[in-house]
Amino acid sequence: MSVYVRLRVSSEAFAIPVEHVLEVAEFGEVTAVPRTRPEMLGVRNVHGQILPVVDLALLLGIPSTAPPGRLLVAEEGVRRAGFAIEEVSGVGELGDPTAETVSDLLAGAIFGDGDLIGVIDVPRIFSLLQGSGALPGPAAPPGARVPQDVEAPQDAEAPQDAEAPQGARQ
Amino acid sequence: MSELNDELTDIFRDDAAERLNQMETVLLAIESGDAPDAGAESVDSLFRNAHTIKGAAGMLGLDDIRALAHAVEEVLAGVRDAGVFRPELAAPLLRATAALRAQVAGGAGAGEPVAGLLDDLAASKATLAHGEAGAAAPAAAAAPGPGLPGPRMPGPRMPGAAGSAAPTAPEPDVTGTTGVSGVLGASDVPEATLPDQDARAASPDVAMPKAGGRPLRVPAEKIDRLLDVVGEVMQYRGRLAHSLGGQSQLSQDAADVLTGSDRMLDELKDTAIGLRTLPLEVITRRLPLAVRDLCRAAGRDVEFVVAGADTEIDRVILESLYQPLAHLLRNAVSHGIESPAERARAQKPSRGRIEVRAVPRGSLVEVVVADDGRGVSPEVAEQARQEGSLGDVLARAGYSTAAEMTDLAGRGVGLDAVKAYVRSLGGSFEVRSEPGQGMQVVLLLPLALALLEVLLFQRGAAVYGVPLVAVEEVVRVTQTLTLEGRRALEVRGRPLPVADVAALVGATAPRLGHKAAGLVLSAAGLRAIVTCDSVLRKEEVVVKPLGPLFGGIEGYLGATILGDGRIALLVEPALLTRAARRAPVLTGPAGGRSAEASPAGESRPGAGAGLAPAQTPKILVVEDSFTVRELQRSILEAAGYPVVTARDGRDALAAVGADPEIALVVTDLEMPELDGLELTRAIRADKARSSLPVVIVTSHGSEEDRRKGAEAGADAYMAKQGFDQQALLAIVERLIGR
C-alpha cells in the first residue's frame, strides 16, 4: 500500500505516487514554446521559476474533452513539469499496482472503486520528454544517439504541419 | 558533478604520489647526508610539495591527508626558520610521507595511525622552535635564495597545533589549487577553498596579518546564492518599474533614489558575477597529462599548448566545459593528428601541434581547440562549401557513426553533443578546416550565465528577447525588395534578408502591419533582418533555463520572467539569422523548420557563410571597358567591398595568383588576350584557387552563353542589359555571404 494522488485527465482516472507530486495549482497562463514536441504546451511562471507544461492527455493518447482545469506539478530529482489535468479527485492509499505495465507511460494499474486506475510513471515520462540534448558520457557509444536523431525531425515537423493551415488562413 | 570530483581525486592521487616520490628522494638524501644543499632549495621543494598536497587534499575533503601534510609543512617551516636541516629530522618526515603515500593510495585506515604521527611531528617541530632562535640569521645567510620568497609563516605561531594552520600568504608556486577548489566547491565538496584560512576558525588567537588582499574561503553555494539573489532583486526592480509606470510620473526625489539604487544594483551585479568567474586554467591544468596519455596510446607525437589560461569564465560553465574540451582533444589526437610517418609523407613536421586557447571577446569568451592534423576530407569540405557550415555538417548524425569516424571523413565524433552543449549555454559553435590543413573548433561561450542584456520585442501575443550583442540596429520595415524570391531590405547599402520572427521560430501570429519593426541581427557570421510588431525595450534579464524536459530543443537560450509576470522566450540569434538566410519565405508563411528541411536548392560554391573570414572579402573586377569596370567597382565599393580591377583575363589570372585575399571574381565574357570563359577554366584548373567563386557578366543574354559559362565552372551569370546593382550585390552576397 502506498499513497497516491488521484486525478482525472479528460475524465479518465489516473494516480501518481504522492512523492512525485509537488503541488497542484491553477492552470494559469502558459507561454507557448514553438518548435517543441506537441505534448509540450509551453512554460508557466510558478513562484518566479520557469516550469514546463505538459499536455498529459495528448501524451497518454486520450481524446481531450475539455480544456485542462488544473496544473499538477510533478517532480523527480531535479526534473519538474506541470501536467495539465482536469482535476485532482483525492489523495489516499491504493493497493499495489499490477505487475504488467500496460503502457510505456504507466508504471502499472490498480483496481480501485471499480475503476482500473493507471499509475503514471513520472520518471519515464520525464525521460521520454527529455530526449537528447545532454552530453553523453565519455563511455557512451556515438551510435547511442542515433535513434534520437532519427526521431527528432518527426517531432519537429508535427507542430509545423499543424500550424501551416492556420498560417495560411492569416 | 561527482564525476568531476572522482576525476579530480584520481588526478590528485597521481599528482600526490609523484610529489611524495620527490619528497622522499630529497629526504633520503638529507638523511644520508648526501644532500648537496641541505638548506634552502631542498627545504623549499619539500615545503612546496607538502603545501600542494595539503591544499588539494583539503579541497577534496581528504582530511587525514590534509592534516598530515600540514604537520609536515609546519616542521619544514621550522626547519627553514632554523636554517639547518638536521639529518635526524628526516626520519619522522619519511614516516609521514610513507603514511601519506598509504593514505593517498588506499584511502582511510591505510598505513600508520595518523594521530600518533601528528604527535611525533609536533614534537619534532617543538625541538626546532626551542633553542634555535639564534639560527634565524644564518638561515637568512644560507638561503638568500633568488626567487625564494617562499611561503613563510608570518606572525606568532601555535607550536605543534597540527591541523590549525597559521595564515599563509598565497604561495608563489603556481600549483594553483585555489582555482580547482572553486570548481569543486560548486558540486560535491561543500566548501570551496581559497587558500587556507581555516586558521581563523580553528585558532582565533592567532594574530592575523593585515586584512587587505588576502583571499577568503567562501562556500561556492553562497556565491551562487548571491548571484541568484541579485537576479531576483533585479527582477523585483523590473516589477517595481512596471507598477510605478514611467519615470515621468515620479517625483524628482523618487526618480533620483531609483537612479541611485540602479547604479548600486549594477555594481552589485558586476561584483557578484566577478565572484563567479575563474580562470580557464582551472580545467586546462589537467589537460597536458591527459593529452600526453592519449598520444602515447595512439602513437602520436604532439606538442600541446594552452594559451590564454588566465581567461576568466563563469564557474558553472567551467565545470561543464572540461568534458567537451577533453572530447575535442581526444578527437584531435585520434582523428586529427597523423602518425609521424604520415606527417613525414605530407611534409609536415613529425611532431604535431594541438593548441587550446581562450580569448575574451566582450561579454563572450572564445575557446578554440586547434590542431595541425589532416583536417576534414575533401568530400566533407565540399559538402560544407555547399551547405555553408562545416560545423553543421560535422555535427550531423551521419558523421557520428562509428563506421565513418575511423576514416578520413570522421571528425564529427560527438561533435553534435559538443554543439548541443555550446548552444545550451547560449554560445555558438563553429568549425574551420581544410583537407590536410588541420582543424579549428571554435566555441563562443557567454562570460556569465545568469544575467543577459537583451532586446525585448513583441510578436503577436508573445514577447521575445535576443541578446543585445547580436542586435546591430533597429529599422522600420516599410517596403522590402524581392531578391531571388526572398524578401530583402537594403541597410547601409547592403541588401539583407528579411523574415518574420514568428515564421522563423515557428510560432503563429497575426499578419504583420505595414510598419513592422526590424531588428538587424548579426550572428554565426550571418546578418539578417527579423521583423516583429514592436520593439519593447532593452533590459538586463535573469536567464532561466527552460529545463531538462526541453532537452533536445535548439534555438533558445532560455526564458525570463518579465516585470508583469509574463514569460519572454530568449531566442538564440544564430537560429534567426540562419533561418532567415535559408528560407525562401515568399511562397507562404514558412515554419522555422523549413530552413533545415528545405532542399539544398541553389548550391553555394562560395566560402560558407558561417565560415567567412571576419574581414571583408576582396573582389576582383575583370572588364576591358573602362566605363563598365568603373561602374562595377563603384557599386561594389559603395557596398563596402574592397575591389581590385584587371583589364583582361591574363591580368586577372596574375592578380588571382598574387593576391590570396581575392574572394570573388566578377568577369566580362569577351575580352582580349584571355576571355572570361578561359579565365574561369584557368581558375578552376588552378589547384590553389579552384573554389574561387566566379560571376560572369556579359552583354549576351543567350541561353548558349549561360550554358558555356556554367560548363566553364562559373558560379553565376548576369546579363548586362538586365544589369542592376541590386542584382549584382545580391549575387555577390550570396556567393561570399556575410
User: What's the first-to-final CA gap in chain A, in angstroms?
Assistant: 54
Rounded to 10°, the helix B177-186/B220-244 angle is 60
Residue type, B174: V
Express each pLDDT in B65-87 by its tens digit: 888 898 898 888 888 777 778 77
Give how far A59 is from chain B: nearest CA, Å. 14
**Three-class SS state of B366:** strand
Q: CA B211 to CA B208: how far, in whole Å? A: 7
Q: CA of A28: which chain B residue's CA is closest?
A: B566
- The partner residue sitting opposite A134, judged by closest CB among B327, B551, B559, is B551
C-alpha distance from residue B54 to each of A125, B27, B518 (Å): 46, 18, 58
Cell of B134: 639564534
CA dihedral B71, B74, B76, B80 (to 10 degrees): -170
Tell me, what's the pLDDT at B673? Answer: 80
Q: What strands lie across the sheet with B486-491, from one edge to the other?
A: B471-477, B516-523, B526-532, B494-500, B486-491, B481-483
Could you say which residues from 126 to 145 on chain A have a Cβ atom under 8 Å away from some Cβ of chain B? Answer: 126, 129-138, 141-143, 145
Are the beta carbons of B155 and B199 closer than 8 angstroms?
Answer: no
Query: Burial of B245 by CB count in 10 Å (0-12 exposed, 13-18 middle, 19+ buried)?
Result: exposed
> CB count, 10 Å around CB of B703?
8
pTM of the model: 0.45
**Do the chains contact at A78 and B548, CB–CB below 8 Å?**
yes
Q: CA of B398: which chain A residue's CA is closest?
A: A146
Give how far B86 is from chain A: nearest CA, Å. 50
Residue type, B290: A
Q: CA A158 to CA A154: how far, in whole Å? A: 6
Residue B233: how many CA atoms within 13 Å on its side-chain side?
15
Does any CB of chain A come closer than 8 Å to the CB of residue B232? yes
Give how far B559 is from chain A: nearest CA, Å. 7
Could you say which residues from 484 to 543 on chain B have a Cβ atom under 8 Å away from some Cβ of chain A? Answer: 503, 505-511
Which residues does chain B have with pLDDT short of 50?
1-2, 131-211, 397-412, 584-614
Q: CA B650 to CA B671: how far, in whole Å? A: 10
A contacts of B507 (beta carbons < 8 Å): 32, 34
Are the beta carbons of B371 and B352 closer than 8 angstroms?
Answer: yes
ipTM of the complex: 0.71
A120-143 average pLDDT score: 58
**pLDDT at A19 exceeding the cut of 80:** yes
Tell me, what's the pLDDT at B292? Answer: 82
A contacts of B553 (beta carbons < 8 Å): 33, 35-36, 133
Mode of pairing for the β-strands spanning A115-120 and A12-17:
parallel
B contacts of A81 (beta carbons < 8 Å): 547, 549
Give how far B440 is from chain A: nearest CA, Å. 20
Spell out the residues 6+ positions from residue B550 whose beta carbon is closer than 8 angstroms to its own.
A33, A36, A40, A52, A133, B556
A contacts of B419 (beta carbons < 8 Å): none
Mean pLDDT across chain A = 74
Give how far B250 is from chain A: nearest CA, Å. 27
Give how far A78 is from chain B: nearest CA, Å. 9
DSSP B339: P
**Do the chains contact at A34 and B507, CB–CB below 8 Å?**
yes
> CB count, 10 Å around CB of A103?
14
Q: CA B632 to CA B623: how far, in whole Å? A: 9
- The partner residue sitting opposite A130, judged by closest CB among B414, B549, B591, is B549
**pLDDT at A107 exceeding the cut of 80:** yes
Tell me, what's the pLDDT at B59? Answer: 73
User: CA nearest B233: which of B271, B269, B275?
Assistant: B269
C-alpha distance from residue B115 to each of B47, B67, B99, B111, B599 (Å): 21, 10, 11, 12, 73
Express each pLDDT in A23-63 by its tens digit: 999 898 999 998 888 889 999 988 778 899 999 888 887 77
Does any CB of chain B come closer than 8 Å to the CB of residue A113? no
